[in-house]
Amino acid sequence: MDAGSISLLVLLLLVGYLASGTVIFVSIICVSALSLGVFLDFGPDRLGATLSRIMIRASSSWELSAIPLFVWMGEIVFRTSLISSMFRGLSVLVGRLPGGLLHTNVIGCALFAAVSGSSAATTATVGKITLGELRARNYDEGLAVGSLAGAGTLGLLIPPSIVMIIYGLLAEVSIIRLFAAGLIPGIMIAAFYSLYIAARCARSDRLAPKAMPGGSIAGALKDLGPISVLILVVLGSIYGGWATPSESAAVGVVTALMIAAARRELSVSLLKDSLLGAVPTSCMICSILVAAAFLSTAMGFLHIPRDVASFIGTLNLSPIGLLVILAVFYILLGLLLDGISITVMTLPITMPLVLSAGIDPIWFGVFLVIMVELGQMTPPVGFNLFILQGMSGVPILRVATAALPFFLLMCVAVVVLAVFPEIALFLPNLLF
């Protein structure tokens, strides 16, 4: 049986497991084991030995420790008043712009993304503060929900990003360089969103009421101070070369606890709740990574990446042609799977194609993260849409419709990055 037929059967088997409600970790393990057993006659003993060896190797990576630490840092911030203070400060600074407080969705998500690394956490945390305030002030609900759906995805792109850590581990590229590569594209996409909001609201007064915000600039800067300090400590320690991503995550946790203590919010209850929130998420991510390592090994034994790469190589596609095909492929996967699953299940196949086409793996990491972000805004498995539907009570199809302009703006950003790859590569080449 050729590689194409085997790949199709493996994909159908995986989809079948996921459709049956089997958790992703178990689905990947079962598909990998069945593939090796059926196509290569691996017996139980050999399967067990292979799986145990891979589990030990995949779970002992030092870089993997950054994931639970960054998740815990986000949980600590989520349970303090840092986010409400950030909203107050942003309200004063952006309230006079066309679109007013709608910009707090975009800028708030961008700031929280720099201490969270998670799209779902960013959307839920900022939405919990802003949606009620915007609704009370009679802002257009569709634009409020849509902007939050789009900006919430920045949690995956603006460093520190959990998906970037996973990509760096699997692709064996520098996580620090990936973080640097994601910063400018993240800011660019946030700017696209704010410009779109300003342009729409400048043409229609009913979308955003013109109300002068209270408070002073000095007070706003004071409110933004704590979250800014946390961002500077985390990113500064990485880009300054003082800490690895794992070490900066530990520094970030300590800094978040110190800020909570300084604001008299540190308590046993805060520690308990933040840990209870961080442990399940961290275990889920790490278990999927271990399963993905087994899947990658199984695909290697079956020669699927090599054979698929050879087949696509015979098509004589240009790098742009390959990226177009991969973009469609990832957007379709985003209809069914979450970002982490997409990354770990596809990278063993797509990475050899990317390298053979001469595409920079750091740039491709940014491209992949944006593709995953697009999946967060597409039904039926767009997690940001589900979060916003639950928080706002707006029907899921209306949420998806409201998010469509921001989905298209992110597609424009991908085109810009493809035409001008230096946007993503400038900082990593400058700093490292």
112-156 pLDDT, tens digit per residue, is 787 776 777 778 777 777 887 788 778 888 888 999 888 888 878
User: What mean pLDDT is predicted for residues 279-301?
Assistant: 77
Q: How far is CA 208 from each of CA 130, 137, 378, 399, rounded to the nearest angstrom?
A: 14, 9, 26, 18
Task: Supply the pLDDT for residue 363.
Answer: 95
Per the CB < 8 A criterion, the answer to whether 154 and 189 are in contact is yes
How many DSSP H helices and E strands does the chain contain?
20, 0
Give the whole-angstrom CA distance, residue 25 versus residue 103.
Answer: 38
Q: Taking the CA atoms of the chain, what radius of gyration do you get in angstroms?
A: 22
Give the whole-angstrom CA distance, residue 106 versus residue 111.
Answer: 9
Return the sign of the alpha-carbon dihedral for residues 261, 267, 270, 271. Answer: positive
Residues 6+ apart with CB under 8 A from 123: 109, 148, 149, 152, 153, 155, 384, 387, 388
pLDDT grade for 405, boundaries at 50, 70 and 90: very high
Task: Supply the pLDDT for residue 7.
Answer: 66
Give the whole-angstrom CA distance, residue 157 versus residue 181.
Answer: 9
User: Domains in the chain: how many in total?
Assistant: 1
Please give the residue that has the higher pLDDT: either 207 or 175.
Answer: 175
Give the Cα-Cα-Cα angle 76, 240, 364 (nearest 5 degrees). Answer: 80
Task: Supply the pLDDT for residue 217.
Answer: 80
Task: Supply the pLDDT for residue 377.
Answer: 82
Question: Which residue bears the tokens 């305030």?
Answer: 133
End-to-end CA distance of the chain: 45
Residues in the chain: 432
Task: Supply the pLDDT for residue 306.
Answer: 63
User: What mean pLDDT is predicted for residues 24-37?
Assistant: 82
172: left (phi over 0), alpha (psi -120 to 50) or beta: left
Task: Supply the pLDDT for residue 3.
Answer: 58
Give the whole-angstrom CA distance, residue 47 versus residue 50.
Answer: 5
Q: Is the pLDDT of residue 295 over 80?
A: no
Q: Which of 49-63, 218-232, 264-278, 303-317 has the lowest mean pLDDT?
A: 303-317
Per the CB < 8 A criterion, the answer to whether 130 and 148 are in contact is yes
Letter for the amino acid at 80? T
Task: Supply the pLDDT for residue 282.
Answer: 79
Task: Supply the pLDDT for residue 19.
Answer: 66
Per the CB < 8 A criterion, the answer to whether 214 and 89 are in contact is no
Q: Is the pLDDT of residue 9 over 80?
A: no
Q: How far is CA 403 from each of CA 38, 156, 309, 398, rounded to the nearest angstrom?
A: 43, 17, 35, 9
Per the CB < 8 A criterion, the answer to whether 245 and 165 are in contact is yes
Give the whole-angstrom CA distance, residue 130 versus residue 367.
Answer: 29
Question: Which residue bears the tokens 């400048």?
Answer: 202
Give the whole-angstrom CA distance, residue 78 versus residue 91.
Answer: 19
Per the CB < 8 A criterion, the answer to whether 365 and 164 are in contact is yes
Q: What is the pLDDT of residues 350-386, one digit of tens each?
A: 888 888 888 999 999 999 999 888 877 876 556 677 7
Reference 340, options 375, 380, 294, 299; nearest CA is 375
Give the whole-angstrom CA distance, residue 237 versus residue 141.
Answer: 39
Task: Supply the pLDDT for residue 294.
Answer: 81
Residues 6+ apart with CB under 8 A from 179: 159, 160, 161, 164, 235, 238, 239, 245
Q: What is the pLDDT of residues 415-426, one digit of tens each?
A: 999 999 999 999
Give the whole-angstrom CA distance, residue 388 versus residue 151.
Answer: 12
User: What mean pLDDT is predicted for residues 318-322?
Assistant: 88
Alpha helix positions (H), 335-395: 339-356, 361-375, 383-392
Per the CB < 8 A criterion, the answer to whether 129 and 83 are in contact is yes
Q: Is the pLDDT of residue 80 over 80?
A: yes
3-class SS letters over 299-344: HHHHCHHHHHHHHHHHCCCCHHHHHHHHHHHHHHHHCCCCHHHHHH
Q: Is the pLDDT of residue 27 over 90?
A: no
Question: Which residue bears the tokens 């759906």?
Answer: 149
Domain enclosing residue 28, as ranges: 3-431
Q: At what angle do helices 66-78 and 119-136 cross, to 10 degrees?
A: 20
Give the whole-angstrom CA distance, residue 305 versus residue 71.
Answer: 32
Q: Is the pLDDT of residue 197 over 70?
A: yes
